A and B are shown apart, each in its own frame.
Chain A
Amino acid sequence: MSSIAAPARRERSVPATVLAFARRHALAAYSLLFFAYLLLPIAIVIVFSFNNPTGKFNYTWQGFTWDNWRYWDGVPGIRSAIVLSLEIALIASLVATALGTMIALALVRYGFRGRGTTNILIFLPLSTPEIVLGASLLTLFLNLNVIFGFWTILIAHIMFCISFAVVTVKARLVGFDRHLEEAAMDLGANEWMTFQKVTLPLIAPAILAALLLCFAISIDDFVVTYFNSGSKVTFPLFVWGAARVGAPAQVNVIGTAIFVVALTAMLANVLIQTYRSKGAE
């Protein structure tokens, strides 16, 4: 709005107008370059999922094939790695979001002793390097003689997902109109009914967002998992192992598939938001 109104307000000399025009488009052109840079590696991943490598290394383009997609699990170990990653991500995101939502509710809704400490406890895992998170859990499990595997991975994933869930749900709760709940209470609903019928539906989008975020973080995690997996192999660990001897094109196939699913979910989210804000206008 203001950018359209601005030039009319003051008379500008011709060179100044040309300069302003050039400057605006220089920024747009630069941004275009930036996005090209940002998307280049993604394009490489997608393109090389159709590569037909002759040797072990999937580095240079050899020819087009559908085979990598048709035999996506044609590499030993890749299928079980994907299954494990999905299992962990599903359980970890559900548990972490439940725990995180409860913490967010307590932090936003109630005044209580220890709020500051709780906030710091939520913030610290987010500002600790992943390698320290992974290493410290490793020493815990080592010292307690815990057997590394499914459970240690799951515990670790829930741990680093909780803070993300709290932050996501809290953001929504802060901008929440409490009058709606008070109205429900005035109309005779008790606390639990109010929560079920008013609060929960209103914060449902934030809970869903937290679930998706935790799922995405969990399925992508390498560092913490690497320290606490024992002999279990998640998909990122599979990629790591494969990279040492030359990653097969199937890795690109799964990478592309994850990218497409995540992008579709996010696009749908953006479209729904745009549609809703249009309806509100």
Chain B
Amino acid sequence: MRFFHRHRGLTPYLLLAPGVAWLAVFFVVPLGFLGYQSLQTGNIDFGYAFNWAWGNYWHALRDYRAQFIRSIEYAGIATLLALLISYPVAYWIAFRGGRWKNLLLLFIVAPFFVTYLIRTLAWETILSDNGFVVNTLQYLHVLGPGGRLLATSTAVVTGITYNFLPFMALPLYVSLEQIDERMIEAAEDLYASKLQAFLRVTLPLSLPGVVAGTLLTFIPAAGDFINAQLLGGPSNHMIGNVIQSKFLELTDYPAAAAMSFILMAGILVAVAVYAWIVGTEQLTGTAV
């Protein structure tokens, strides 16, 4: 322990070293390998050669444009649905939860206690062709007599929305919970209607939660392939399904690596654009 006293400046680095090294070797370096692989050509039998094959990227975008767009579309719709569904509940728990808050939050994260794949399989059961949901919808003539939900985009979006809902609800709750209720009362005392008070005070103050929840939901949703695999059909496949099959079934590593990079870049761009829009909105919100 003398050593630490004599070299106090070293202590933080010694504490950091093992964990940071682990992340460097097994997170940063692999991303480099992924990039390296994405610019190679060849196949599993004759080996791969690195030759700056940027064509892999263009081919991926050309051949799998539909899957890329579908990923963004499904993830976007699911994120929006999750926001609309969980905002009122987060509001209710934050302002009316009282001493039941912790218990209600426990209910919100309850789905996470069931293995991801198993809860997705449960949706397969719920949406199955002879299940009560399909029967009810057929009875109400929303679905035709032979209509089904499985293998449709509705089923995939339903699954994604459900699976990532807690990621949306929790940050929403945290930001709503921090709002000083006296601010809302003050707005009402100054003759704001309930709606005005909500739009001008509560909603802007909860925006950090909306942003965090949206990102936490959208990012994993865009890369997901489990819902599309279990609840959708081939026409609902997302880019995750393509990456997965190229890597693990077709061993077309360069193409799969290029697609992984495009997915990551696409998400980064989407996040940046989103942060930019929300940022400016927040600015104008405070200016008004």
Interface residues of A (CB under 8 A from B): 2-3, 6, 23-24, 27-28, 30-31, 34-35, 37-42, 44-45, 48, 58-60, 99-100, 102-103, 105-106, 109-110, 112, 118, 121-122, 124-125, 127-133, 135-140, 142-143, 155-156, 158-159, 162-163, 166, 190-192, 216, 219-220, 222-223, 226-227, 235-236, 239-240, 243, 247, 251-252, 254-255, 258-259, 262-263, 266-267, 270, 273-274
Contacts and interface: CB of A to CB of B under 8 A. Distances in A.
Contact of A266 (B5, B113, B243): B113
Contacts of B9: 112
B26 A99 contact: no
A23 to B, nearest CB: 8
A contact face: mostly helix, strand, loop, or mixed: helix
A38 B126 CA distance: 13
Contacts of B91: 27
B288 interface: no
Given A140-B33, A254-B115, 20 more contacts: A41-B162, A48-B125, A59-B124, A59-B131, A100-B19, A103-B15, A121-B28, A125-B27, A127-B215, A128-B219, A139-B30, A190-B5, A192-B1, A239-B118, A243-B117, A243-B230, A251-B118, A266-B109, A270-B103, A273-B102
Contacts of B244: 131, 226
B134 to A, nearest CB: 12
B23 interface: yes
Nearest to A2: B181
A106 B114 contact: no
A27 B96 contact: yes
B18 to A, nearest CB: 5
A226 B15 CA distance: 32
Nearest to A51: B125
15 contacts: A2-B182, A27-B88, A45-B122, A48-B125, A106-B11, A136-B260, A139-B33, A139-B253, A142-B253, A143-B36, A223-B225, A236-B115, A243-B117, A263-B110, A263-B113
B172 interface: no
Contacts, number: 241
A202 to B, nearest CB: 17
Contacts of A220: 112, 115-116
A243 B229 CA distance: 10
Contacts of A122: 23
Given A42-B114, A128-B264, A102 B18 contact: yes
Contact of B26 (A6, A105, A155): A155
B110 A132 contact: no
A222 B225 CA distance: 11
A38 B165 contact: yes
B108 A38 contact: yes
Contact of B126 (A3, A41, A131, A247): A41
A255 B115 contact: yes
Contact of B34 (A38, A136, A156, A270): A136
Given A139-B34, A190-B1, A112 B12 contact: yes
Given A2-B181, A139-B34, A133 B115 contact: no
Given A139-B37, A159-B27, A99 B18 contact: yes
Contacts of B122: 41-42, 44-45, 48
